[in-house]
Chains A and B, each alone.
Chain A
Amino acid sequence: MLAFLPFAAFTGTPKRAPARQWSDAELVEAMAQGDSDTALEAFYQRFGGLVMAVAQRILGSSAEAEEVAQEIVFELWRRAPQYESGRAAVSTWVATVARSRCLDAIRARNRRPKGSASLDQATIPPAPADLRPDEMAAQGQRRDLVRAALAELNDSQREVLELSYFAGLSHGEIAKRLEVPLGTVKSRILSGMRTLRRHLSDIASEEDAR
């Protein structure tokens, strides 16, 4: 009887929550500590779709997007020790690095970006099947808030932001392409960005509630 006691006693021992329940910042911290198994996998499950979406949007080719996505995720892994949770949300950090590397790939290959997916108008596909219902609900809530923010952009704001953010054009290049004054382009970018910025507090509140 006594021989079985150690095993019985340990069944009630509290264990650390699985990585899929960690916050975004906790995942990055674990990656910074060198966890290339559990934490990296959970991070990729959570943000891999975002990385691929940005890569496909900017590069236009799934094969090239995969190649660059691997570079992006590796760079995020390498830079995890430098991530500061107080400066930016993890999603912001991921999107910024992903966009930057994709535009580098475009410049290195010396061609214009392709792809036709536009901001928020396309149907957002269902979340991956291996997420639990509560995880799917949480992601869905955030996506709804993001869509609400993007839906407030008018067509002219959306157009200039697509050209700058996804095609990497400067305001001068946009003005030339659209044949509108430079001041108009700057004004549309500023007003569009102010619109998105106004929604940040709603999105941050939703994240805090999770």
Chain B
Amino acid sequence: MSDRERLEELAALVAAGAATADEERELARVRAADAEADELAAEFEQAAALLAEGLPRAEAPGRVLDGVRQRIAEDRGKGQVVSLAQRRGGPARIVAAIAVAAAAALALLWWRERGEAERLTERLAEIDRLRTAAEARADRAAAQLAEVENEQLRMSGMVEMVSAPSSKLATVAKDKATMKVLVDPDRRRWLVLAFELPPLPPDKDYQLWFMPDEGNPLPAGLLEPGPGAAQLTRTDLPEGVNVTGAAISIEPAGGSKTPTMDQIILAGPVI
């Protein structure tokens, strides 16, 4: 079988959901290294999606959307992330809207006095386009500000952990993958950095697990891209559980409640 045929077979198997974990990892490595292979695999993913699109459409109940909106509202209410929607009513935008409306009203009176109604209509349309562009810029600026604020909160928490006198560093390694865990026993918190993890397809995530001295592994959050291609997360230890180790596994996007045992790629003691 030629390389091309092998690639097509892998891409087809993975897209159809029939591949083994090793085959999925093999394709992920090839996709990361070869743009043409990545494009081919994406085409097979689109082809596979036709299987879903060919199903008879089902009714989409309104209560599902209501439930989603409720979760979004809860997420916004408790999270550190500042939603753009919370910024939409900002004072700067209101002042800008009033200023533009005032300018439009004055221009309207002046042009009307001069008897040039057609030019005025064109001018109003132009002002509306400028307003839309200004709103878009304001939204982008608000988004950037929210990102900076969130990053600042995240980094200040990490500095606290690193500088705590009781913090300890543990290393878990296998093959080329490495995980370093900074343990802050006073705050019962971990800062985890994982290196040299191969890239994953869009429907997979790396998930961290707490390994207690008794009982099953407990979910500890998903790893996010960090500096220098490392994966990073900060997580609080669960109450009433003596956690002695950590593990990382490959899970479906969004994570799982229990680890997929044959997808654990790193595991070891931390304390």
Seen from chain A, the residues whose Cβ lies within 8 Å of a Cβ on chain B are 2, 5-6, 9-10, 12-14, 16, 33-36, 40-41, 44-45, 48-57, 65-66, 69-70, 73-75, 77, 79, 82, 87-89, 91-93, 95-101, 103-104, 108, 117, 119-120, 122-125, 127-128, 142-143, 146-147, 149-150, 160-162, 164-166, 168-172, 174, 185-186, 189-190, 192-194, 196-197, 199-200, 203
Query: Which A residue sits closest to B57, measured CB to CB?
Result: A49
Query: Which A residue sits closest to B123, measured CB to CB?
Result: A9
How distant is the Cα of A5 from the Cα of B105 in the complex, in angstroms?
Answer: 9
How distant is the Cα of A165 from the Cα of B254 in the complex, in angstroms?
Answer: 19
Seen from chain B, the residues whose Cβ lies within 8 Å of a Cβ on chain A are 8-9, 12-13, 15-20, 42-61, 63-65, 67-69, 71-72, 83-85, 88, 104-105, 108-109, 112, 120-121, 124-125, 128, 132, 139, 143, 202-203, 252-254, 256-258
When distances are taken between beta carbons in the complex, the residues of chain B under 8 Å from A124 are 56-57
Contact B44–A5 (Cβ < 8 Å): no
Minimum CB–CB distance from A39 to chain B (whole Å) comes to 11
Contact B12–A194 (Cβ < 8 Å): yes
Q: A120-B54, A171-B20 are in contact. List 15 more A-B contacts (CB 8 A).
A: A6-B108, A40-B65, A50-B53, A91-B53, A93-B202, A96-B48, A97-B203, A97-B253, A99-B17, A142-B53, A161-B51, A193-B12, A194-B8, A197-B46, A200-B46
How distant is the Cα of A31 from the Cα of B109 in the complex, in angstroms?
Answer: 39
Minimum CB–CB distance from B227 to chain A (whole Å) comes to 19
Given contacts A186-B9, A189-B13, contact A70 B69 (CB under 8 A): no
Given contacts A9-B108, A49-B60, A88-B46, contact A189 B12 (CB under 8 A): yes
**Which of B18, B60, B139 has most A Cβ within 10 Å?**
B18
Minimum CB–CB distance from B164 to chain A (whole Å) comes to 32
Minimum CB–CB distance from B242 to chain A (whole Å) comes to 26
Instruction: Identify 10 residue pairs between A and B in the complex whose beta-carbon atoms are under 8 Å apart, listed by A's number.
Output: A6-B104, A44-B65, A53-B52, A55-B58, A73-B65, A119-B51, A125-B56, A170-B20, A190-B8, A197-B44
Q: Is the interface of A mostly helix, strand, loop or mixed?
A: helix
**Which of A55, A96, A120, A125 has most B Cβ within 10 Å?**
A96
How distant is the Cα of A168 from the Cα of B16 in the complex, in angstroms?
Answer: 9
A-B contact count (CB 8 A): 223
Query: Which B residue sits closest to A81, measured CB to CB?
Result: B143
Contact B68–A45 (Cβ < 8 Å): no
Given contacts A34-B84, A74-B71, A97-B253, contact A147 B54 (CB under 8 A): yes
Contact A170–B19 (Cβ < 8 Å): yes
Minimum CB–CB distance from B116 to chain A (whole Å) comes to 13
Given contacts A41-B65, A99-B17, contact A34 B85 (CB under 8 A): yes
When distances are taken between beta carbons in the complex, the residues of chain B under 8 Å from A147 are 54
Contact B64–A70 (Cβ < 8 Å): yes
When distances are taken between beta carbons in the complex, the residues of chain B under 8 Å from A149 are 50, 54
Query: Which A residue sits closest to B40, measured CB to CB?
Result: A197
Query: Which B residue sits closest to A84, measured CB to CB?
Result: B202
Minimum CB–CB distance from A150 to chain B (whole Å) comes to 4
Minimum CB–CB distance from B140 to chain A (whole Å) comes to 9
Query: Which B residue sits closest to A8, measured CB to CB?
Result: B108
Minimum CB–CB distance from B187 to chain A (whole Å) comes to 27
Contact B124–A146 (Cβ < 8 Å): no
Contact B105–A6 (Cβ < 8 Å): yes
How distant is the Cα of A118 from the Cα of B121 in the complex, in angstroms?
Answer: 57
Minimum CB–CB distance from A146 to chain B (whole Å) comes to 5
Query: Which A residue sits closest to B139, measured CB to CB?
Result: A33
